[in-house]
Amino acid sequence: MPPSHFCGSKSALNSRLGILLLFGSTPALALQTELQLGYAPYGEVRYRSFGKNSQRLSQYKNYNQNKSLRARLLLSWEEEKSLELRLLESGRSFATERVGDYQTDQMSQSMENLSLLYSQPLAEWPLRWLAGVQWIKEQWERTRFIVQGNSVDSALDLSSEGKPQGGLREELSNLGLPLGARMRWGRTFFLEGEALWGFLLDPSDIFLGSAPYSGFSYDLEIALGWESPKWRISLGALRHFHHMASPASSEGKKLEGGTLAPEGVWVAWPENETLFQGILLQAAYRF
């Protein structure tokens, strides 16, 4: 074989080997998926309102929120960078709401908190920072109204059993921008904690020409658990709080209650605070 032909073949072979080595040495992006489900065997909700009339503000406590659920879908890659989708949904049981000494009713308060968060480790600390967006939706359903000792259900088109025909419902939704951190100690057996704080915005205010800032929220969580290569089980406590403004007037929103409620029936206020806290049992599986 002529030397020139041999050298040309060797050069082509080296080029092919170089290409294979180049692409072969590039690591594939390793993705890991984790699904976590949580249940609150004990939970409670506390709600209060703020308005111009201090004698007509709402106070509400419900210690029977054990239908609350928590779900999390986690996608991680490249040295523990992660993107996670979370959903926290509180229960829908009824408890007594008191509006000063003027009105009582049975109220069910439900909340959905949907979050999309990005996180990655911070330096050499056992710490991760988190940032993202969230959507908080709150719904109040009221029935069995008693105003100064008189039932006003008939004036509000409620049945005699106090069950709404379509419901006396008020809703409020806000967009949030949370930022926080998570710390963890241990491997097989671990202790971890997380704190998030965020601004709340009402996008509809932008179209009305007013400032979109509506309030703030925070989330605190601590858990003790056990982990294997595929499974993670933990028991902990969760606390969520938010303060949101609503479109109601400075005094609040009232419905016509007939002659038995000449002042009206209170159903909404300009400022609202909700606290949810409970015991959280969680299980996660890695795919």
pLDDT in tens, the chain (287 residues): 445 444 445 555 555 545 444 444 445 567 899 999 999 989 999 999 999 889 999 999 999 877 789 999 999 998 789 999 999 998 778 999 999 999 999 999 999 999 999 999 987 778 999 999 999 999 999 999 999 999 998 888 875 554 545 568 999 999 999 999 999 999 999 999 999 999 999 887 767 667 788 999 999 999 999 999 999 999 999 999 999 998 777 788 999 988 889 899 999 999 999 999 999 999 999 99
Neighbours of 247 (CB within 10 A): 12
Q: Are 235 and 225 in contact (CB under 8 A)?
A: yes
Angle value at C-alpha 276, between 270 and 277, nearest 5 degrees? 155
In the chain, which ranges are continuous DSSP H helix? 3-24, 204-207
CA distance 49 to 251: 11
| pLDDT score of 91 | 76
283: buried, middle or exposed (CB in 10 Å: 19+, 13-18, 0-12)?
middle
| pLDDT score of 211 | 74
Extents of the domains making up the chain = 30-286
CATH topology of domain 30-286: Lipocalin (2.40.128)
The model carries a pTM of: 0.85
| pLDDT score of 159 | 58
CA distance 65 to 69: 10
Scored b (16 or more CB within 10 A) or e, 33-59 reads ebebebbbeebbbbbebbbeeeebbbe
